[in-house]
Structure 1
Amino acid sequence: METPPPPTEHAPPTERDVAAIGAQLGRVPRGLRAVAHRCPCGNPDVVETAPRLEDGTPFPTLYYLTCPRAASAIGTLEAEGVMKDMTARLAEDEELAAGYRAAHEDYIARRDAIEVLQGFPSAGGMPDRVKCLHVLVGHSLAAGPGVNPLGDEAIALLPEWWRKGPCVDPDGGTGAEGGDQ
């Protein structure tokens, strides 16, 4: 697979970005803080969300994957048992487990820099198991290669989700491929 572009500087979303994200999700995005990564097509594919939603509800998923094509491909990996295999490897490979713990610490530090959610775990099952590849891939895309080893592995297993062009048209299309992660 061709590698997706490196993380973008996390910047507030433009009106066009908000339209694209809404079309991708099929709903108004909640807790949106920034675009954390852009797909090669130009649309956001990972957003940074607030640790708490507007109503005060904790939302520990800091990096939320919005692209329905990427989300679908990740769902296929999950259905194929990739998470179970990764979790088993964490118990056997001390170096991998240490890298995954460091990814957990990075995730918490990034979230805590915005707001501390005392007593809330990171996300995706970190640091002891793999519970959600969507979160791990989102973290890897947002933080860049080398931060989350299992997120990086999952990205390497994915097809090039951007090859068909944009998943939504923020200038008028409603995103027939909208997803709900």
Structure 2
Amino acid sequence: MTTPPFDPVTDEDIAIVSAQLGRPARNVVGIAARCVCGNPTVVSTAPRLDDGTPFPTFYYLTHPAATAALSQLEATQVMNEYNELLETDDAVRSQYAAAHEAYLADRESIALVEEIHGISAGGMPVRVKCLHALGAHALAAGPGVNPIGDLALERADWSPEVCECVDVTAG
């Protein structure tokens, strides 16, 4: 069995992610993307939480600036545009379906959870529902895997190439 490409999680990563989220990080199995400064940007979360809850969102965006930028982008109603693109562009629709399958394969390389089998995140494979999930997948998988996630990241007022971290663990 192969596992998705992510960094092993450290206690320091968990402390940073918990501070980023404003709550304890749960069931993080790896760091799927990092800021240029090294702080976590996307975590990989176990498909089943310790309390038994199925958790389909394998790639979870934690970086506050990225989260805010994608929230602002969602507020512009750009998802309507992306949904229309899915309806009208066969190549994008095909790539998006492949992104869905890649997401499922990554999550299932950690564990198969029957209750969420076939369910990915962000509305894949047929609609655009959550740019945070799609952006997280695009950051984790790299450019060219999730076309809608790539488009959202290109349009968002945030760049993975520029550190916007604050010392979230100070205090």
TM-score of the pair, normalised by structure 2: 0.90
> Is the deviation greater in 119-128 or in 99-108?
119-128
Provide, for residues 93-123 of structure 1, a one-character-per-residue CA deviation record: whole Å limited to 9, x for no partner: 1111000000000001111111112352111
**2:130 corresponding residue in structure 1:** 132
Bigger relative CO (Cα 8 Å, ≥ 6 apart): 1
Change (3 A) 1:164 1:46: closer
CA distance in structure 2 between the aligned counterparts of 1:156 and 1:30, rounded to whole angstroms: 29
- Residue 111 of structure 1 corresponds to 107
Residue 31 of structure 1 and its aligned partner are, at CA, apart by 1.4
| Partner in structure 2 of residue 168 of structure 1 | 167
Q: Distance in 2 between matches of 1:103 and 1:168?
A: 33
Local SS of the residue matching 2:24: coil
CA contact (8 A) 1:41 1:165 kept: no
- Quick one: which of 25, 42, 53 aligns to 2:21? 25
State how far apart, in whole Å, the 2-side matches of 1:129 and 1:115 are: 25
2:94 to 79, 95, 98: 98
Cα distance in 2 between the residues matched to 1:66 and 1:167 = 13
Paired amino acid for 1:158: A
Secondary structure in structure 1 of the residue aligned to 2:30:
strand
Report the residue type matching 1:159 in the other structure: D
Q: Percent identical across equivalent pairs?
A: 49
Counting matched residue pairs gives 165
Q: Which amino acid in 2 is paired with 1:106?
A: A
> Corresponding residue for 2:6?
10
Unaligned runs of 5+ residues in structure 1 are 1-7, 174-181
Could you say what secondary structure the match of 1:54 adopts?
coil
Q: Is the 8 A contact 1:39 1:45 kept in 2?
A: yes
Task: Report the Cα distance in structure 1 between the residues aligned to 2:114 and 2:80, rounded to whole angstroms.
Answer: 28
Query: What residue number does 1:143 align with?
Result: 141
- Scaled by the length of structure 1, the TM-score of the pair is 0.85
CA distance in 1, matches of 2:21, 2:138: 20
In structure 2, the gaps of 5 or more residues are none
Q: What's the CA shift for 1:41?
A: 2.5
Aligned partner (choices 42, 51, 54) of residue 50 of structure 2: 54
What residue in structure 2 maps to residue 78 of structure 1? 74
Structure 1 contact 69–161 (Cα < 8 Å) conserved: no
8 Å contact from structure 1 (residues 47, 66) kept in 2: yes
Describe the superposition over 1:74-104 as per-residue Cα deviations: whole angstroms up to 9, x where unpaired.
Answer: 0011010111110111111111100000000
Cα distance between partner residues in 2 of 1:144 and 1:22: 24
